[in-house]
Amino acid sequence: MHDEIRHFCVKFVMLRRFSQLLSLSLRAACVSAVLAVSAHANVVVVLNSGDASVSLLDQSGEKELSTFSVGKEPHHLMATPDNKSLIVASATGNQLLFLDPKTGAVQRKIRDIIDPYQIGFTPDQKWFVATGLRLDRVDVYSYDGQDLKLSKRIPLAKTPSHIAFDNDSTIAFITQQGSDQISAIDLATQQVKWTMPVGKLPAGIVMTPGNKYLLVGIMGSDYVEVIDWRTQKMVKKIKTGVGAHNFRGQGDKRFIYVSNRVANTISIVDMTTLENVGTIKVPGGPDCMEVTADGKTMWATLRWSKKVAVIDLASRTVTKVIPVGRSPHGIYLYNRAPDI
């Protein structure tokens, strides 16, 4: 009897020690997992439009962390107004994918958003606008902070591409690459207000500070067209480089970068003087750009070379290139400079 009790006590002590060790191991694993997430809390999100995938890059280590599949042709992305989600638009996948903007973890999907190529929220956060590059239309959705509801589907001429808004959220300006035009959509009536001709293959479009001018990247040539949108007249052509495509502000409301995909350069434009004040050589077809919150570093997708370039803006040099997927397009940083 005593032997049985002794044997039971030994087993009990061993099981207790094993339980304690297991608890410590689990606790250590949890701590390690938390530290791992924290270490990469500010990932760089890159859309590989040719591979239907997203690459997550380590911003500090400047290397790829992981890649995962998404809907076909993910081209553009943007944060929700509350900055709690990052929306990835899959054009031929006909869906919006919501990611954690810090870690890149998938939060949810909204299906049956048809042909979302470029996307944007109005400054007042009331409307969500998506261009249908493939279907020649613009879709306007109401937004309540969580859900999207289609309000109007507006047909346009040919291949509506990029979007800009006036500061008062009254007009959405849309470039149309196939018809060499810009259209202004009145958001109150959700009708086309006016359409004007511009240069060949207009792509990126942005409003300058003070609601003054529209800047349009003329991808079929080598310049940025400056438009007085109130009179629908061209004010100036700013020569940048062949394949002038997209824009990204420095965040100081003065300087803006222009990617020239064919010229393999990024131009620096002074929005006050409307002059090209500098050039950065970026081989590989620079496309979309992001600027870190401190304004010191740019990350740019290289559309033709399956890479992302890291650029030191003080020296205007590429310091590193990171391999990603095919035809990398949109890119996002959580700790980013203001858009303009």
Clarify whether residues 251 and 135 are in a common domain: yes
Those residues with Cβ within 8 angstroms of residue 25's Cβ, 6 or more apart along the chain or in another chain: none
- Domain CATH number, residue 89: 2.130.10.10
Asked whether residue 218 is assigned to any structural domain, the reply reads yes
Q: What pLDDT band is residue 146 in, cutting at 50, 70 and 90?
A: confident
pLDDT class of 3 with cuts at 50, 70, 90: low
Please check whether residues 142 and 158 belong to one and the same domain: yes
**Residue 339 maps to a domain:** no
- Contact at 8 Å (CB) between 125 and 143? yes
> Are 34 and 137 found together in one domain?
no
Minimal CA–CA distance to 94: which of 110, 80, 78? 110
Kindly state whether residue 51 falls inside one of the protein's structural domains. Answer: yes
Same domain, 105 and 31: no
Residues 35 and 62 occupy one common structural domain:
no
Q: Which sign does the torsion angle of CA 154, 156, 160, 165 carry?
A: negative
- Return mean pLDDT, the chain: 91
In a domain, 66, yes or no: yes
Whether 212 is in a domain gets the answer: yes
The answer, yes or no, to whether residue 1 has pLDDT greater than 60, is no
45 and 32 share one domain: no
Q: Find the domain containing 4 and state its range.
A: 1-39
Cβ–Cβ under 8 Å, residues 65 and 24: no
Are 163 and 171 in contact, with CB atoms under 8 Å apart?
Answer: no
What are 190-213's pLDDT values in tens digits?
Answer: 999 999 999 999 999 999 999 999
Looking at the 3D structure of the chain, how many domains does it have? 2
116 belongs to a structural domain:
yes
- Does one domain contain both 130 and 238? yes
Residues 233 and 297 in one domain: yes
- Indicate whether 338 belongs to any domain: no
Give yes or no: residues 28 and 113 share one domain: no
Cα gap 214→208, rounded to integer Å: 6
Q: How confident is the model at residue 4 (pLDDT cuts 50, 70, 90)?
A: low
Residue 45 in domain: yes
Q: What is the pLDDT of residues 321-332, one digit of tens each?
A: 999 999 999 999
168 and 24 in a common domain: no
